[in-house]
C-alpha cells in the first residue's frame, strides 16, 4: 500500500531513516527525466517523495522503475474493448501485474491526473480543451493497470508510449494499440499511460487512496 500521509507537509519533514535514499532517488529521477516533464523538471517529485509515510520502503517506491501506471479509459470499457486491450498488451511483450476498477470516478481525480499538462505548451494541452478530459473520464468506469515489459532490459516507459501510439489514432499505424483497436479520436483513445517512474507514482497515488484496501500485487524485477 502506498497511501499519502494524512496531513503530511510538502516541505521540511525533518531527518529520518530512509529520507536520504528517497533524496538520492529524486536526484536520479531528475537527472534522467527532468527535461521531459514539468513534474520532475521543476522538482515537484521531491515534495511527493518526502511527504509519503516514513514506513513506505524505497524498494516499494522503486517498483515504478519497472511498472508503468496506465488507465484503460471509459471508452475502452464502454465499447467492450478492455479484454482486447489486455490481449494486445500481452501479445506485444507487456505483462499486466496489477489491475483494479475505478467504479466511482470523480472529476477532481482526473483534473489532478492532467494538471501538469497545463504547464506544457504543446498544442494538445491548451487550457481551452481542459474541460474535455474530465468529461471523458466521468462517463463511466476506468481500469487502473500497472504494466511492465517482459524483457527486463527494455525500459517500459518509452516502449509503452511508442506502442500505444499518438493521441490522435489517425496519426498512428500498424502495431500501435490505438490504431489497431480502432480508437475514435484524441479524447476517446482507449489508454492513458505515465511518462516516467515519478509521474507513475504520482498518478497511481491519485487513485490508490480511493481504491479501498486492495493490496498492491505488482513486484519489481
Residue 35 CA to its chain's centroid (Å): 18
pLDDT 10s digit of each residue in the chain, 221 long?
455 444 444 444 467 889 999 999 999 999 999 988 889 999 999 999 999 988 889 999 999 999 999 999 999 999 999 999 999 999 999 999 999 999 998 888 888 888 887 655 554 555 556 667 778 888 999 999 999 999 988 889 999 999 999 999 999 999 999 999 999 998 899 999 999 999 999 999 998 853 333 345 444 44
Q: Count the neighbouring beta carbons within 10 Å of the beta carbon of residue 6.
A: 6
**DSSP conformation class of 182:** T
218: nearest Cα among 76, 82, 100, 88: 100
Chosen CATH of 64-208 out of 3.30.70.141, 3.20.20.140, 3.40.50.720, 3.30.70.100: 3.30.70.141
Global pTM? 0.84
Q: Where are the domains of the chain?
A: 19-62, 64-208
Amino acid at each position: 500500500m502506498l497511501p499519502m500521509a494524512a496531513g503530511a507537509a510538502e516541505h521540511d519533514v525533518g531527518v529520518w531513516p530512509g529520507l536520504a535514499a528517497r533524496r538520492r532517488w529524486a536526484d536520479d529521477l531528475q537527472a534522467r527525466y527532468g527535461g521531459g516533464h514539468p513534474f520532475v523538471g521543476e522538482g515537484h517529485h521531491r515534495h511527493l517523495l518526502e511527504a509519503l509515510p516514513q514506513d513506505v520502503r524505497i524498494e516499494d517506491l522503486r517498483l515504478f522503475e519497472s511498472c508503468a501506471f496506465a488507465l484503460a479509459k471509459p471508452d475502452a470499457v464502454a465499447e467492450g474493448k478492455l479484454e482486447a486491450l489486455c490481449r494486445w498488451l500481452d501479445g506485444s511483450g507487456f505483462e499486466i501485474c496489477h489491475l483494479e476498477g475505478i467504479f466511482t470516478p470523480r472529476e477532481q481525480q482526473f483534473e489532478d491526473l492532467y494538471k501538469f499538462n497545463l504547464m506544457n505548451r504543446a498544442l494538445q494541452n491548451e487550457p481551452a480543451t481542459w474541460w474535455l478530459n474530465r468529461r471523458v473520464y466521468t462517463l463511466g468506469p476506468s481500469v487502473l493497470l500497472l504494466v511492465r515489459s517482459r524483457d527486463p532490459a527494455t525500459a517500459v516507459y518509452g516502449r509503452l508510449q511508442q506502442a500505444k501510439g499518438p493521441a490522435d489514432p489517425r496519426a498512428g499505424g500498424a502495431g500501435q494499440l490505438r490504431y489497431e483497436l480502432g480508437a475514435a479520436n484524441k479524447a476517446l483513445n482507449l489508454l492513458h499511460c505515465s511518462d516516467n517512474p515519478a509521474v507513475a507514482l504520482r498518478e497511481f497515488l491519485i487513485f490508490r487512496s480511493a481504491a479501498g484496501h486492495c493490496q498492491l500485487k505488482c513486484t519489481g524485477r
